[in-house]
Structure 1
Amino acid sequence: MRVLHVITGLGVGGAEHQLRLVLPRLAADPAVVTLTNPGPVAAAIRAAGFPVHDLGMRGNRDLTAVPRLAAFIRAGRFDVVHTHLYRACVYGRIAARLAGVRAVVATEHSLGDGIIEARPTTAAVRALYLAAERLGRVTVAVSEAVRQRLVAWAVPDRRITVIPNGIDPAELRHDPALRLQTRARLGIPARARVVGGVGRLEPTKRFDVLVRAVAALPDTTLLLAGDGPARARLAALAGELGIADRVAFAGGLPHARAALCAMDVFASPSPQETFGMAVVEALAAGLPVVYVSCPPLEARPDPAARRVPATPDALRDAVRAALARPGGAAPETLAEHDIGRVAGALDQLYARLVRPDRVWSRTT
């Protein structure tokens, strides 16, 4: 079975990372098209032996992308088209139907309350989303919270299936040498107490709350791994609070492991997440975790993670307590979110859509 994954871009991000992880574990024969920005994740996917085609889309209104993508799908004789992220879900579903592919799947990675991929869910955004959704067969929600939001948007529940995101625990294993190397590169003392966060630095993630919490924790350094429009404001806030020398910005990283190894406690101040992958990755890395929102842990708590309100005082107190306790995810958390389970669930979905009476393998 041939499956084409269509994604908006392949820079550093959660959906992009998920695609990289799942491709080698699929029984189906996969290929990838990125509409634009074949960034570091594209290089990693190619290095793993999977083809990545850059469609070279020139902007959100480059309508020539649709017939070009349809021609690529038709020439590749793909059995399934699987789209990821808003723009690819719109263009990819249309192109797949023009190419005659009926087995069209979309994964909804980033639908929040009133926001999707950092853009407000205006009436126009919602209308375009729903129009394109009708051209597909199934929408995969990465959490129960996302499923509920899709239903609230009037996506029929029968067309939604929940397949949670996955991790590769081996990629996240703690490495003492990497810990020291990362701290040295970022100018963090080897014996410092380090609280960290991972994610795109944008206002909705509320890293400002974490900066204020750390300001009230003497002898504690904050490490933020990620980049985005809020970085300058966060740096300015750290200066205003007199802790600029205790806040380290790692920038965008192709993989979170190095940053996680450098931390003693992981904190996620975001009040709204579609999944909260960074939280689960931090648990797999052996860190005690403090978080505001993480749908899978809200459904099934882990003893190494504590949920708190999104206030500086609550984060401060929880971080202080976490610095004194060991971390490490419960085995059932790691098993439930193993990336192999995600790949298996997707293979079953593809088979059900294409030929429900047949079992597929990579050589089919």
Structure 2
Amino acid sequence: MRVIQAMAGAPQGGAEAFYARLVPALARAGLEQRAVTRPVPERLEVLARDGVPALEIPFGNPYLDLLSRWKFRGAIKAFRPDVVVTWANRATALCPSSPVAGHRFLKVGRLGGYYDVKYYRDCDHLVGNTPGICAYLRDKGWPAERVHHVPNFVDPPRRAAVTRDSIGTPPEATLVVALGRLHRNKAFDTLLKALAGLPGVHLWLAGAGPEEAALKALAAGLGLADRVKFLGWRSDSAELIAAADIFCCPSRHEPFGNVIAEAWAAGRPVVAAAASGPALMVKDGIDGLLAPVDDAGALGRAIARLAGDRALAAAVAAAGRARYEAQFSEPAVVRLWLDFFARIVGGGASCAASRG
């Protein structure tokens, strides 16, 4: 089977990071692939390490996109894939419809958010990485048999945990770690307000974004300057999480919650706000604790509960690790993708025309 994986995204981002994990993992499992991607050096290096040939396409303004569409068509004509997987809106919109030069293929749109379905009209199948996204697509009129749920996988820590003294944190402190883009959707302001009621609890907050200045000002105003470390954008998120006593995902809006799976992979207990993704993902009281969205008091109480009950924290962490192994590890998710490809290719040629 031959598959093209097309990514038009920027150098950094959740979907972009997962693309750089999944495509090499599928190659290691024996799937023959070609990558179509923006010329991002780090991404190209990762693909090359596992022998995935990559066609660099600019993907940018409308003039570049004319070139991108032409080059994309050439890649399909040369490789003759069974399936083309397009990641998010731009790659999907610029992927030619089947057939190309007489060659038929199945066009699969992969969605990691609640995107406008107009970009996916000529897709044969859609893959959502959460049950909520899949339900959204069905509500928009997509037939259930052409909407498929395949979650992301995350990697466990490969190196030793980041040491507390390297970030100026007392070894005896209860350490909470949170990470993500510093954006209002992530609700780090709510986490800071929760921390204000938790004396002795320290926070490492890794990420960058438009709310950085406001969050730093809020931390200072709450008297948290000595207990909150703003770490900026980091490439060692797994090792940061591994250093934590508790991992927290306070998001107002979170379609999936990659970071929760990362915490489970590292064997850390999780506290999360019950946004759409975490609410479906976390079994409250079993493999994590949930708090209402935007409720700093409830979020603080959940953190305090784990900090004060080591047996509960250990049980929650162990249950999360088991969930990771069963559903969000590389072997589990790679098998789901391979089974998906085999199922749709075995079902016959392109069906977009029959869907209308």
> Shorter chain as normaliser: what TM range?
0.7 to 0.9
Counterparts of 1:1-364 in structure 2, within 5 Å, are 1-9=1-9, 11-26=11-26, 27-34=30-37, 36=38, 38=40, 40-59=42-61, 62-64=64-66, 65-92=68-95, 94=96, 98=100, 100-111=103-114, 116=115, 126=116, 129-130=117-118, 132-168=119-155, 171-172=156-157, 177-180=160-163, 183-292=164-273, 293=275, 295=277, 298=280, 301=283, 303-310=286-293, 311-324=295-308, 325=310, 326-327=313-314, 328-330=317-319, 331-356=322-347
Deviates more, 1:19-28 or 1:227-236: 19-28
Deviations 1:160-186 (A, max 9, x none): 011122234xx337x6x5331xx3443
CA contact (8 A) 1:10 1:40 kept: no
Cα distance, 1:185–1:47 mapped onto 2, change above 3 Å: farther
Which is worse superposed, 54-63 or 307-316? 54-63
- Alignment-derived partner of residue 119 in structure 1: none
Return the alpha-carbon distance in structure 2 between the equivalents of residues 37 and 209 of structure 1. 37
TM-score with structure 2 setting the length? 0.84
**Rounded Cα–Cα distance in structure 1 between residues aligned with 2:219 and 2:306:** 22
Determine if contact 1:12/1:40 at 8 Å carries over to the other structure.
no
Shift of 1:266: 0.7
Unaligned stretches of 5+ residues in structure 2:
349-356
CA distance in 1, matches of 2:84, 2:189: 39
**Aligned 8 A contact 2:99 2:105 in 1:** yes
Aligned length: 333
Distance 1:54 1:249, change over 3 A: farther
What is the SS of the residue equivalent to 2:161?
helix
Given that 1:260 and 1:285 are in contact with CA atoms closer than 8 Å, whether structure 2 keeps it comes out as yes
- Provide the rounded CA distance (Å) in 1 between the counterparts of 2:298 and 2:191: 10
> Helix, strand or coil: the match of 2:254?
coil
Please report how far the alpha carbon of residue 104 of structure 1 lies from its aligned counterpart in structure 2 after TM superposition.
Answer: 1.1
Are 1:145 and 1:295, in contact at CA under 8 Å, matched by a contact in 2? yes
Q: 1:281 to 1:230 in 2, by over 3 A?
A: same
In 1, the alpha carbon distance for the partners of 2:300 and 2:197 equals 7
Q: Is the 8 A contact 1:84 1:107 kept in 2?
A: yes
User: What's the CA shift for 1:95?
Assistant: 5.9
- Superposition TM-score, scaled by structure 1 size: 0.82
1:312 to partner: Cα distance: 0.8
For the residues of structure 2 that align with 1:95 and 1:70, how far apart are their CA atoms? 9
**Secondary structure in 2 matching 1:44:** helix
Contact 2:58/2:64, CA 8 A, preserved across alignment:
no
Query: For the residues of structure 2 that align with 1:203 and 1:50, how far apart are their CA atoms?
Result: 37
| Partners of 1:97 and 1:135 within 8 A in 2 | no
CA contact (8 A) 1:142 1:162 kept: yes
Closer/same/farther in 2, CA of residues 102 and 79 from structure 1, 3 Å limit: closer
Instruction: Determine the structure 2 residue equivalent to 1:361.
Output: none
Which secondary structure does the structure 2 equivalent of 1:227 belong to? coil
Deviation at 1:332, TM superposition (A): 4.2
State the shift of 1:240 in Å.
1.9
Any conservation in 1 of the 2:254–2:278 contact (CA below 8 Å)?
no
- Identity percentage over the alignment? 30
- Preserved contact between residue 103 and residue 137 of structure 1 (Cα < 8 Å): yes
The residue identity in structure 1 corresponding to 2:283 is P
**Contact 1:9-1:38 within 8 A present in 2 as well:** no
Contact 2:161 2:243 in 1 (8 A): yes
Greater Cα shift, 245-254 or 80-89: 245-254
SS at match of 1:245: coil
